[in-house]
Amino acid sequence: MSERLTALRRFVPKLFAPRPRSLVEVDRWKATEFRLFLVYFGKIVLKGILKDDLYENFLTLSVAISILVSPSLVKTHSSYAHDLLVHFVLRCRELYGEEFLVYNVHSMIPMMAESEQFGFLDNCSGFIFENYLQQIKRMVRSGRNPLAQIVKRLSECSLSNVNFYPVAEAVVSTEATNNAYILDNSMCCEVINNEEMASAAHISQSLLLCRLYEKTQPLFRNLHCSDK
């Protein structure tokens, strides 16, 4: 698993931060790293290592969470995600024993209700507050009266209409590992940085030269759940 995680690093775009680390450092993994493993990397890393029944149970959880964190999928597939979570918990009892069903496992079942109330899970996630702590720390210039310093800085930002948590502007990249994109029709493309070819073909600077991958295939095809 560690070898696969570290091998993935050179294929992971900057959008996924932080990049996967070895299990040797798992005690220092942050919550965002576990999230990336659950939603993205685990499907690849665990295949062929876990037994089929354990891997399929992990996929059940991974697909359910992938639906609930998607702004579009949660609108149409939230009930399916709920069925997957219920199935995951029931299978955990069979695979890992009754003692595995601690509060944190049971608490995943009501996630659909939260998504119906708040939208996709990132709308009610604690990550944004954790990330904002870095902004708050920068407001403190000395160890004297830190709370008063924070209040003053926030007041100044409010009066000056400063956006203290700016949204990054989307930029199309031609850099390797950062130049792959999924199109609306589920095809993939790779943006090519070839100025000579573009010049020879008299391509406008406002257009992008891309390599198109039309024959995409799903990572897995069959995933169903039942109460049995």
Answer yes or no: are the C-beta atoms of 60 and 223 closer than 8 Å: yes
**What are the φ and ψ backbone dihedral angles of 212, each rounded to 5 degrees?**
-100, 135
- pLDDT tens per residue across span 150-197: 888 888 877 766 555 555 566 788 888 888 888 876 788 888 876 655
Listing DSSP states for 101-155 in one string gives --HHHHTTTTHHHHHHHHSSGGGG-SHHHHHHHHHHHHH--SSSSHHHHHHHHHH
Contacts 24+ apart (CB under 8 A), 6-9: 8/41, 8/44, 8/45
- pLDDT tens per residue across span 17-55: 788 999 999 999 988 899 999 999 999 999 999 999 999
